[in-house]
Amino acid sequence: MLIPRIRHQVHVREIPSGIGVENYEWYLTNVHLVPYSWDEQIAIIQRELDRALASLRLEEQRNRHLAKQEPIGSSEEWEQRFQEEVTNYATFLRDNDVVSMKDYMEPALRAQFHPYIPADRERGFFTIVDYHDPIVMRTHNYHWIELARMANEPNPNPIRRTPLLYNIFDGRAEGLATWMEEAMMHAGLLDDRPRSRELVWILLAQRGARALAEMYMHSNKMTMQEAAVFASKWVPRGWLPAKGSTIQHELHFYLQQPVYGTSYVVGKTQLDALLAERENQEGGNYSLRRFMDELNGAGIIPVSLIRWDLTGRHP
């Protein structure tokens, strides 16, 4: 006689996994050298999220009579557009005196080509943005220019020559990459692509939403899944589903490496402040190219230390 196997239904309750506000704030201040308290960082990120969403609404209002921006529809079109936009972006950087261009920079961007993902497969958030206009994510990919610089022009200071421990350079690396998206838009890169300006604000909204989600996880006010739902709610157009691979991977990573998720937004605002401060110091003699060259020369170290280095003012 066969005895039927009894199946027990197991209810798994997700438990909070954050390190707590006190530990997070200590790590933020004493390891990553970010000059803001927990509450100040929350306020900065919330302001950037609000600004991104309001700016997106205004861009959409201005563009309301324009045709909808259709995503790239084939692997052939994707490869062609990718290659074209690398060329367009490198030309913009060179012709508009944004940064001192070196021979290795454009090849470093071009080497990051990745295969096309068909519409019947899951496309992560950044792939969706890429397929609407590849030039937008090329601005964030300043990362690859920086890695190429480390190989071709290593910093003369041995302390600044290699990545720092515990990713304490994240505000400088991810902050600058995020800063480049909006900065290049304001500098004129997207003047003839009004619909692509919308993508920049969606990107900033995504960074703000997931940054707050990280902090809410670490304060133990939200579980990881609750944080995913929160982030998804604040990202426009349904491009960041709560169960999708992008936000699930990111939040898991941010639990493992506190401060990394917030560094995109907070590092960006620190660079805004640094540009304003250097312009105030130098007046009409200052330029965007000089600012970028100073950042590149300082190396990939916390922005608070770069500020000290460039302005002479202690963090």
Residue 224, pLDDT score = 96
The count of domains in the chain is 1
- What tens digit of pLDDT does each residue of 107-153 get? 999 999 999 999 999 999 999 999 999 999 999 999 999 999 999 99
11 occurs within a structural domain: no
Residue 13, pLDDT score = 56
Average pLDDT over every residue of 152-159: 94
13 occurs within a structural domain: no
CA separation for the pair 3, 77 (Å, rounded)? 60
114 phi-psi bin (left φ>0, alpha ψ -120 to 50, beta other): beta
Rounded to the nearest integer, the mean pLDDT of the chain is 94
Q: Which domain holds residue 304?
A: 21-311
292 occurs within a structural domain: yes
2 occurs within a structural domain: no
Who contacts 136 (Cβ-Cβ below 8 Å, separation ≥6)?
A: 129, 130, 181, 190, 196, 199, 200, 203
Cα atoms in the Cβ-side hemisphere of radius 13 Å centred on 307 = 21
Please determine, for residue 9, whether its predicted confidence score (pLDDT) is greater than 90. no
CA separation for the pair 286, 108 (Å, rounded)? 28
Record the pTM: 0.94
Question: Smallest Cα–Cα separation from 181: which of 207, 147, 152, 157?
Answer: 207
Split at pLDDT 50, 70, 90, the class of 6 is very low
Residue 1, pLDDT score = 41
